Amino acid sequence: MEKQFVIDNLSLGESWRLFRIMGEFVEGVEALYDIGPAVSIFGSARVKPEEPAYRKAEQLGALFAKNRFAVITGGGGGIMEAANKGAAEAGGTSIGMNIKLPFEQKPNSFANIQIEFDYFFIRKVMFVKYAMAYVVMPGGFGTLDELFEAITLIQTHRIKPFPVILIGSDYWTGLVKWIKSQLLVNGRISNGDMDIFQIIDDPEEVVKAVKRLVII
């Protein structure tokens, strides 16, 4: 009888977790369903305001805002803060989708729409669902996770193709060379898969590329 009681309690805990998951989906959809054209911008939370990458992300956020795109970031510091700041100060919609972590991630103050998530996978759905383009700046494991998630979804036709743009040729060229020399040469991906993403360094050219490929 005691064993059955423990199992029932565990089952009840899992059931309530499903409600929390559903609640996060509902909160995200309610906050974002009418934001209009938007881009998701990714990059390291560890980038400092004095670094060139921070200033470039800030410029990028402002340019997208001036071209009527909402800017979505992970809501934390570094590149995310810079993009949110640029968008907000340009008078645009600046969205921060923060994830609760025991270290490093704290919400920045420049997002005028803030959502907080417990679950990474729900947050990732929101990044894809409401973005018309992915702009990926230098970052770590989290940035790579978001990049390859988007590429995989496009490659497998789970979502409609949209622009995936890597900013920082010095940073990304080594990875692209490895993808070509290991994945492409050995038949792990197809030639056309290399067309899913592109490298562009200049923020104004990034915005032009997105505008050429999407309708707003």
pLDDT digits (tens, 9 = 90+) for 127-179: 999 999 999 999 999 999 999 999 999 999 999 999 999 999 999 999 999 99
Report the CATH number that the domain containing residue 24 is assigned in CATH.
3.40.50.450
Q: What was the pLDDT predicted at 105?
A: 62
57 domain residue, yes or no: yes
Q: For residue 190, give the DSSP letter.
A: -
Task: Answer for the pair 39, 84: CB distance below 8 angstroms, yes or no.
Answer: no
- Listed in sequence order, the residues at least 6 apart from 15 whose beta carbon sits closer than 8 Å to its beta carbon are none
For the chain, how big is the Rg over CA atoms in Å? 19
Number of other residues whose CB lies within 10 A of the CB of residue 52: 9
Q: For residue 194, give the DSSP letter.
A: G
Task: Answer for the pair 42, 9: CB distance below 8 angstroms, yes or no.
Answer: no
Full residue range of the structural domain in which residue 202 is found? 2-211
| pLDDT tens per residue across span 13-54 | 778 888 889 999 999 999 999 999 999 999 999 999 999 999
66 domain residue, yes or no: yes
Q: What was the pLDDT predicted at 76?
A: 92
